[in-house]
Amino acid sequence: MVGIAIVSHSHTLAVGIRELAAQMAGDAVPIAIVADLGGPDTPLEVDAVKIYQAIAPIESDGVVVFADLGRAVAAAKRALELFPAARRCQIRLCAAPLAEGAIAAAVTAAGGAELDRVVAEAENAMTSKLAQLGAHDPPDSPPPEHFPTGQLHLTLDHSTGLHARPAAQLVKLAFQFESDITLENITARTAPVNAKSINQVIALGVRDGEEIAIAATGADAAAALEALRHLLTEELTSPNRSRVPQRLSSPPPDRSLRGIPAAGGIAIGPVMRCEPAAIHIETQHTEHPQREWEFLQRARDSSRAQMLDLHREIGQRCAVTDRVGSSEAAIFATHLLHLDDPTLMERARELIWEQHHTAAAAWKTAIEEVVATYEHLEDPLLRSRSADVWDVGRRVLQLLTGAEPVCLLLREPGILVAPELTPSEIAQLDPERVLGICTAAGCSISHSGILGRSLGIPMVVGVGPELLHLSGGTAIAIDGGTGQVWVDPHPDQIEELRRRRERQLATARDLRQAAQNPAVAADGHRLRVMANISGVAEARIAMQNGAEGVGILRSEFLFLARRRIPSEDEQVELYRAIANAIDPHPLGVRILDIGGDKPMPGISLPDEDNPFLGWRGIRLLLDRPDLLRAQLRALLRVGCDRPVKILFPMVARLQEIRAARDILTEEWENLRRQNVPLSEMPEVGAMVEVPAAALMAERLAAAVDFFSIGTNDLTQYAMAADRTNSKVAALTDALEPAVLRLVAETIAAAKRAGIWASVCGELAADPVAVPIWMGLGAHELSLNPQAIPMVKMTISRIRRDEAEAIAREALQLESAIAVRELVRSRLGLTINNC
């Protein structure tokens, strides 16, 4: 059924009209309302996005949009542009008066009419009212022969000139008028440029005190000129202006931000953005310009949709204040303006139609020309805006060429600042250049956080969108152990941080030396300390740091950076390289844990509302036996002369592990029949990371040789707290007594069944948690390689009976905070000295 959207400045008015329409048409017609629009300081895009989000869920059979006045109409128009072209024709902005139009439309839609009919009825709504009042139809006004034209001269009175932010305000305002509007820098004697092109307006480089001319041609030329005059002479003029140039988008010096500590260590350096990897364009010319032109438009639409999704995701993931939210929206809005810049599209169209360039070649040239214009600007801040153009341009180019969305080459060493990084992006970082990582969103136990930690790169996540305001090159420092971020730190502060970093590095060296010995508790009790790794480089780090083998190879990470799933033979090579790097120690390989926050190139995962509760781990593998069988065969082959163990992820039910084991046995027998060299059947374990598995550990223990307790997922599922969502980060603490009870039950069930149990989530690496795992009776800890020396040292200072008493008491406490206090009060000095 056709839906209705009511956009109004007044919530009461919108609700009232919806009520009236529902009374007349019944409740079946979907009616969305968007009210309480932002004020003059809120970017128009913010309202447009609200409208887009309200319309999107009801758009399937078309939507008629009624907007009351001025800003509501402009925002509704802009919202329409956010839809891909193919969907746009299903959404109609209706000029009918709000109440009459919405009611007529609702009644017609309720009767099952199609979109055109609903719009026509709404537009006719006034006719019957006029007839009822006995009024005559207003005479049709003849179409104007010549559009009015106007001009405006003024001197820019804005201390920073027409920089990105004021330029964006000007362009957005110009977009609200139908008229053609041009802008000219009289002082610099430039030619007039299109005032609806963000790139051209910025490139004019208008400075404070320079004279500009604005010309408008069109039906609303006078209104446009008046609005622009008002913007430039009233709104953009600061009463307390200073003649000292300010950096508009940078925060004031010496400012500090705070995020979530994700990987320890201090890093000091310039803000670096990702440098796009060169995108190779295979075909430069085409005989089918029409097809290429459509191709480009579709890529631009998809790119717009991706940006909207990203914006929504970051907004949801970061606990932001209104201030931060609106400034992030301003950056986002500017990116949309770059994407929709009419001159950019015009240039690409010209290249496609006149020079027969392919869509990718035309778009790349158009983007490069704009970037070159920026790079010739004198003002360094304006020059740095070329990064925004590249960012937007690259998205479209990736869609056009199918290039991998990977862009993590840093030109020089620095601190990588990004909205958020995916595990595959982190996996490809060059630790030589990336001194530290700082992201606006994210959580420490997300897979990106885990990877950052294993690479040993200091990392702070979940800082919030204001991080993204820092321009490239700004000096920052981060402390990945505390989550502190210093912007433009004072030289004294830098000196102090350098000293701290030196001390930390020296301690790390000493600990690494001591970690070459086995982990033995103060009373002689032995606990194996293994590494969680995701590739051969980490395997080497693990060995240097004293690992006694690999507890978990997160095998999916070996695949993430590839375009396709490696073949069985290629997998044999990959696993063998790692087994060799840790020889003669055991290698525990976790079978592919795809899904959740780990997409996999080459496997199309469905869009799921709750991916962590969806098609992940063993569930997916049992549905894709081709993947499972190839990986098992590869591991059995490597296991012929290397101590390989096999571990299944995300087990929730006994029959899953039984089914997986049956497939393993079948493959072992197949290989044996083919005379492939094999050893005995390897040890098989289940990850206990779903509460159901922990509660059924007694039964599960009979089906496996060992348990690996994944505290990251066990905590996420037990506490119902998404491990990637910074808003609920405080809940994802494995020391919550609820989680500890599940761990305790699992270890006890393992002991009763005579199998061994390992604790392997991120909390296996926390010195405060180590006494608890030891006290609960874990046989093994498996953790991020960087933390091994510290954990071994902690173990060496604790007695087992002491740890058991602490663990018993911890199970009776109320909260993770109380557990931490308990451990600190009993072992404070021991732990702090490690």
Site for ligand PEP in 586-645 (CB under 6 A): 593
Binding piece for ligand PEP, criterion CB under 6 A, among 85-93, 568-576, 706-714, 799-807: 706-714
Q: Which is nearer to Mg ion, 420 or 689 (by Cβ)?
A: 689
Number of residues that bind ligand PEP (CB under 6 A): 11
Active site residue 834: no
Asked whether 337 and 168 are in contact (CB, 8 A), the reply is yes
Buried-exposed string 77-113: b where 16+ CB fall within 10 A, e elsewhere: bbbbebbeeebeebbbbbebebbbbbbbbbbbbbeeb
Q: State the binding string over 411-450 for ligand PEP (x if CB under 6 A, else -).
A: ---------------------------------------x
Residue 125 burial class via C-beta count within 10 angstroms: exposed 0-12, middle 13-18, buried 19 and up: buried
Q: How far is the CB of 448 from Mg ion (least distance, A)?
A: 14
CA distances in angstroms from 235 to 149, 225, 238, 298, listed in the order given:
24, 14, 8, 37
Question: Does the footprint of ligand PEP cover residue 711 (CB under 6 A)?
Answer: yes
Q: How far is the CB of 657 from Mg ion (least distance, A)?
A: 15
**Which member of 311, 447, 469, 779 is catalytic?**
447
Q: How many CA atoms lie within 13 A of 199 on its CB side?
A: 29
Q: How far is the CB of 105 from ligand PEP (least distance, A)?
A: 50
Q: How far is the CB of 653 from Mg ion (least distance, A)?
A: 16
Measured from the Cβ of residue 615, the count of other Cβ atoms closer than 10 Å reads 15
Place of tokens 């091994």: 788
Q: State the binding string over 529-568 for ligand PEP (x if CB under 6 A, else -).
A: -----------------------x-x--------------
Question: Does the footprint of Mg ion cover residue 802 (CB under 5 A)?
Answer: no
Question: Does the footprint of Mg ion cover residue 689 (CB under 5 A)?
Answer: yes
Nearest Cα neighbor of 76 from 7, 172, 177, 151 is 7
Binding piece for Mg ion, criterion CB under 5 A, among 32-40, 260-268, 545-553, 681-689: 681-689
Residues 6+ apart with CB under 8 A from 390: 276, 367, 371
Q: Which is nearer to Mg ion, 68 or 689 (by Cβ)?
A: 689
Residue 554 contact among ligand PEP, Mg ion, none, beta carbon within 5 to 8 Å by kind: ligand PEP
Question: Does the footprint of Mg ion cover residue 722 (CB under 5 A)?
Answer: no
Angle of helix 289-317 relative to helix 359-375, nearest 10 degrees, comes to 60
Question: Which of 689, 733, 780, 802 is in the footprint of ligand PEP by CB under 6 A?
Answer: 689
Question: Does the footprint of Mg ion cover residue 556 (CB under 5 A)?
Answer: no
Q: How far is the CB of 599 from ligand PEP (least distance, A)?
A: 14
**Which member of 94, 407, 438, 760 is catalytic?**
760
Question: Does the footprint of ligand PEP cover residue 761 (CB under 6 A)?
Answer: yes
Question: Does the footprint of ligand PEP cover residue 469 (CB under 6 A)?
Answer: no
Q: DSSP characters for 568-590?
A: HHHHHHHHHHHHHHHTTS-EEEE
By three-state DSSP, how is residue 560 classified? helix
- Consecutive H or E run containing 130: helix 125-132
Q: How many CA atoms lie within 13 A of 336 on its CB side?
A: 30
Asked whether 75 and 301 are in contact (CB, 8 A), the reply is no
Active site residue 280: no
Question: Does the footprint of ligand PEP cover residue 713 (CB under 6 A)?
Answer: yes
Nearest Cα neighbor of 176 from 235, 127, 228 is 228
**Measured between alpha carbons, how far is 8 from 37 in angstroms, rounded to an integer?**
7
Q: How far is the CB of 453 from ligand PEP (least distance, A)?
A: 11
Residue 711 contact among Mg ion, ligand PEP, none, beta carbon within 5 to 8 Å by kind: ligand PEP
Q: Which is nearer to ligand PEP, 176 or 711 (by Cβ)?
A: 711
Q: How far is the CB of 98 from ligand PEP (least distance, A)?
A: 52
Asked whether 585 and 643 are in contact (CB, 8 A), the reply is yes
The angle formed by the CA atoms of residues 432, 472 and 505, to the nearest 5 degrees, is 35
Catalytic site positions: 447, 760
Binding residues vs ligand PEP (CB under 6 A) = 450, 552, 554, 593, 689, 710-713, 760-761
Binding residues vs Mg ion (CB under 5 A) = 689, 710, 713
